[in-house]
Amino acid sequence: MVQQRSIVIVGGGTAGWLTAAYLARALGSRATITLLESPGIGIIGVGEGAFPTIRSTLRFIGIDEARFVREAGATFKQGVRFDDWRREAVGDRRHRYLHPFDAPYQADDADLVAHWLAKDPATREPFAEAMTIQNRVADAVRAPKQPSEGDYDGPLAYAYHFDAHRLAALLRARAVELGVRHLQGELTGVETGEQGIACVHTDAHGALTADLYVDCSGFRAELLGRALRVGPRSAKAHLFTDRALACKIAYAGPDAPIESVTTATAHEAGWIWDIGLQNARGLGCVYSSAHLSDARAAEILCGYVGHDRFEARIIPFEPGWRETQWVGNCVAVGLAGGFLEPLESTGIVLIEAAAAMIADFLPMAGPVDASAGRFNQLMNARYAAITNFLKLHYCLSQRQTAFWRDNADAASIPDALAALLAEWRHRPPSRFDFQGGVESFAAFNYQYVLYGMGFETDLGPSTPPRGEQAHAERLFERIRSFGRQAVAELPEHRALIREIGQRM
Ligand code: FDA
């Protein structure tokens, strides 16, 4: 007989349904999975951008790309464009850089990063433009792939934007197809015991018991937070934003171009996300309540949109995470485990990582929490690393309002990041700076942000020999010319979305 584990998941947002589908696919007949969600409480309904890892997650779960585009209202995302982060806009003079998902072009016989660094900062091309064709493709509002390319494949790395409610509904449909039992109702109480959770009481389905309880109840953290009293560790000393004012803005017409990058525009005390969905743009003004009033945030958002004829809702959050996310027979995934802030879309990345680790670590025999310590250590390292990466976006800014000055204050920079920044003064970020398998962002992600923000790495007076430099120049020219060719050949973004969405 197959040894089975019973799993109860509380919460039916992206975290709950993604975890349910992932575990159902990974564990098959070795697990029975029940998910309880409260339609009355609902889901947070934001989180419209993902990271490229989502492609392998969706493929694993068994959702094909056409279904994803159609049912989650997905569009392609090729990275994040940062407007006005380095300094305030002065008239038409704005600072802009792209953090593309595609890695810099790598040549065996030339270190292009070093060659770019050796060029005159006043005249060289922006880093992302010099190192990848994706900058040009995104600027031209082109898609990252041809219609003939296979599901989740393409020459350029990409992720998606999507409607958060439709994504949860799609993941629910797939999880149910994979055999997950769906219960609608509210958790009304939790009994704790030696193992952690003894049972959860519900309004419509009596008491539920399981070998493993997964807390996906969002910021309420019903199991890990409220019942087991595991408190969060605040990241507020480093990351200051704690509120978002979110809205949807209709396109001018059904054929309006759809951007294939998230635009992140800095403002006096935070930034605004602007995401091209299929039928509307999703916008959110992210800010620090210690530096900006809600009324001023609304003014800033209206100024960005160009009018005030829209409804917006305020979403408060506390940047931080629970250092112990797996206690006994209870593990938290998603907002119940932690949340840092919307920048760089790291919420779903962390859900994907947690679901995959639970699938690997859940033993079919013996104590259910045998690998809890390892899970906690790995999730902690991920949250800490993401905190560093997010802080990097803020701490190099020369903007002059209190929010940005506080962000540049050395006391607010995590020690690990400060140490790396000191090293990067004389060498670029290296793959050995980061622990593969533990971190979501690689050296090249840091390079795009670091050099996009104008950071200088001084390689010393020994500029590369002429011959090598000439070879590097030919490679840079090749990137430019591939970029022009890609813009000419790749389909327009909306056209590809339409085409893929019509496939059955
Ligand atoms: P969510 O709140 O969606 O779901 C909780 C579930 O628990 C619901 O089904 C609810 O009904 C249920 N529940 C709660 N209490 C219950 C009870 N007592 N009984 C029964 N059910 C109960 N991430 C990202 O990757 N990219 C992004 O761009 C963003 N942007 C972003 C912006 C802002 C402002 C925020 C706050 C967050 C993001 N995120 C994000 C994070 C992202 O939104 C989040 O990780 C996912 O939506 C997952 O949310 P959860 O499923 O954890 O909670």
Contact (Cβ atoms closer than 8 angstroms) between residue 31 and residue 24: yes
Predicted confidence (pLDDT) per residue in 6-44, tens digit: 999 999 999 999 999 999 999 999 999 999 999 999 999
Give the DSSP H or E segment for 182: strand 181-184
Choice from 17, 36, 46, 200 to test ligand 1 binding pocket (greatest atom count within 8 A of CB): 46
Closest atom, ligand 1, to C-alpha of 336 = 52
Per-residue model confidence (pLDDT) at position 503:
80
Residue 501, both tokens: 């969405």
Residue 126 to residue 97: CA distance in whole angstroms: 7
335 lines ligand 1 (CB under 6 A): yes
Q: What's the distance, CA 56 to chain centroid?
A: 15
Residue 261, both tokens: 């990058």
Which CA distances in Å does 243 have to 194, 265, 285? 38, 16, 8
Predicted confidence (pLDDT) per residue in 300-343, tens digit: 999 999 999 999 999 999 999 999 999 999 999 999 999 999 99
338 lines ligand 1 (CB under 6 A): no
277 lines ligand 1 (CB under 6 A): no
315 lines ligand 1 (CB under 6 A): yes
Give me ligand 1 centre to Cα 218, in Å. Answer: 5
CA angle, residues 399, 339, 190, in degrees to nearest 5:
155
Closest atom, ligand 1, to C-alpha of 14 = 51
Kindly list the domain boundaries of the chain, sorted by start residue: 5-75+160-236+321-385
Contact (Cβ atoms closer than 8 angstroms) between residue 337 and residue 228: no
Instruction: Tell the residue number behind the tokens 């109702």, with chain if given.
Output: 185
Helix/strand/coil for 17 = helix
Residue 237 to residue 414: CA distance in whole angstroms: 9
Give me ligand 1 centre to Cα 45, in Å. Answer: 7
In this structure, how many other beta carbons lie within 10 angstroms of the beta carbon of residue 170? 24
Residue 97 to residue 78: CA distance in whole angstroms: 13
What DSSP assignment string belongs to 211-245? SEEEE--GGG-IIIIIIT--PPEE-TTT----EEE
Per-residue model confidence (pLDDT) at position 139:
96
186 lines ligand 1 (CB under 6 A): yes
Per-residue model confidence (pLDDT) at position 468:
84
Residue 192 to residue 199: CA distance in whole angstroms: 7
345 lines ligand 1 (CB under 6 A): yes
Question: Measuring from atom 16 of ligand 1, which residue has the nearest CA?
Answer: 217
**How would you classify the pairing of strands 5-10 and 212-215?**
parallel
3-state helix, strand, coil in the chain (%, to 5): 40, 20, 40
Task: Give, in words, the CATH class of 5-75+160-236+321-385.
Answer: alpha beta
46 lines ligand 1 (CB under 6 A): yes
Average pLDDT by stretches of 10, the chain with 504 residues: 87 98 97 97 94 97 96 97 95 93 90 91 95 97 95 95 97 98 98 97 97 98 98 98 97 94 98 97 98 98 96 97 98 98 97 98 96 97 97 97 98 98 96 83 96 94 71 95 97 95 80
Give me ligand 1 centre to Cα 333, in Å. Answer: 10
Give me ligand 1 centre to Cα 161, in Å. Answer: 16
Residue 349 to residue 57: CA distance in whole angstroms: 10
* Interface predicted TM-score (ipTM) over 0.95: yes
Choice from 14, 283, 440 to test ligand 1 binding pocket (greatest atom count within 8 A of CB): 14
Residue 211, both tokens: 């070998």
Per-residue model confidence (pLDDT) at position 466:
61
Report the candidate in 100, 9, 396, 330 with the shortest Cα–Cα distance to residue 195.
330
187 lines ligand 1 (CB under 6 A): yes
Per-residue model confidence (pLDDT) at position 391:
98
Contact (Cβ atoms closer than 8 angstroms) between residue 76 and residue 497: yes
Helix/strand/coil for 320 = strand
Residue 183 to residue 196: CA distance in whole angstroms: 22
Closest atom, ligand 1, to C-alpha of 12 = 9
Backbone angles phi, psi at 243, to 5 degrees: -150, 150
